[in-house]
Amino acid sequence: MKINATQIINETIAIFKNSGADKLFSDFVKDEDYKRLHPLPLTATSIWIDTEEFKKEIAIWDFTFEQWGKDHTHLPRYGAALVNQNGTLLKNDPINGSLMAWNRDNPDKPLIETGCRTPTALMDLPSLQPLSVFNGYWCRSNILKWNCDAKFLPHIDTVVPSPWIRLWASMNPEIIVRFYNEATGELESVEFETGRVYVVDTSLVHDAVAVGDNIYQLFLSITPNAVSLVDLVIDPKRA
């Protein structure tokens, strides 16, 4: 089914402008760097998370998950903060939801990824230590837990030049992730390896749906000055 990607992108840009969130951007990934780091919708890195260890460890922290955002609350989508504004795990954390929706609903208190720089206790999970290569570069990051039929509708999370770099990993295979293909005008599913961390091009319109229960995903953001680090971890085979 064809989608109107231009409309989705323009609506997002309008919300960021109206809320003043766009005035909070201070640094950007240069266009040429962004292109090199995002040759594909999902670009493989050499970083892997032990998914079985992660699932054992996160079970103890189940109480830190809360319903994702204030929109579409009938969907079984839950989030917990990995990196937020002050490093404290709290309920009604604005980052446990879409920041586009937050900026739409709270135009007097705009919040963007780079306004969240402090890791929470969840970042100390032993299974997440392969991520420590990015310590000092973190911005807004979450763990999401989805049950069957949870989804994100088609959206973007950045525009180029981008004020952050997004990384993504799924701890379970039962999720379909799709990206906009300009040539066909449609969203097309993209393959991934469970437990592998990817650089994700969220300037492309994308969506996702869970086809099983207890699907854990890592949604990670790092600051623009991490470009050379990302160059180092991109898998040369880009498998």
The window from 23-31, 58-66, 93-101, 157-165 that contacts Fe ion (CB under 5 A) reads: 157-165
Residue 209 CB, nearest distance to Fe ion (Å)?
13
Comparison of 166 and 196: residue with beta carbon closer to Fe ion? 166
The residue with its CB nearest to Fe ion is 157
First-to-last C-alpha distance (Å) of the chain: 28
The window from 2-10, 130-138, 174-182, 196-204 that contacts Fe ion (CB under 5 A) reads: 196-204
Residue 105: CA atoms inside 13 Å, Cβ hemisphere, count? 10
Comparison of 8 and 233: residue with beta carbon closer to Fe ion? 8
Comparison of 93 and 157: residue with beta carbon closer to Fe ion? 157
From residue 212, give the alpha-carbon distance in Å to each of 147, 193, 216, 218: 6, 16, 11, 17
- Strand 66-67 relative to strand 138-146, pairing: unpaired
Comparison of 157 and 201: residue with beta carbon closer to Fe ion? 157
Backbone conformation region of residue 136, classed left if phi is above 0, alpha if psi is from -120 to 50, else beta: left
Residue 98 CB, nearest distance to Fe ion (Å)?
9
Residue 57 CB, nearest distance to Fe ion (Å)?
25
Residue 157 engages Fe ion in binding (rule: CB under 5 A): yes
Closest CA to 189 of 209, 171, 172: 209
Residue 53 CB, nearest distance to Fe ion (Å)?
26
Residue 29 has what DSSP assignment?
B
Residue 113 engages Fe ion in binding (rule: CB under 5 A): no
Residue 201 engages Fe ion in binding (rule: CB under 5 A): no
Residue 158 CB, nearest distance to Fe ion (Å)?
9
The window from 3-11, 23-31, 33-41, 194-202 that contacts Fe ion (CB under 5 A) reads: 194-202
- What gap in Å lies between CA 4 and CA 80, rounded to an integer? 31
Does residue 175 contact residue 210 with C-beta atoms inside 8 Å? Answer: yes
Comparison of 117 and 151: residue with beta carbon closer to Fe ion? 151
User: How many residues bind Fe ion, per CB under 5 A?
Assistant: 2
Closest CA to 84 of 122, 28, 129, 127: 122
C-alpha torsion 10→13→14→17, nearest 10: -160
Q: Which residues bind Fe ion (CB under 5 A)?
A: 157, 202
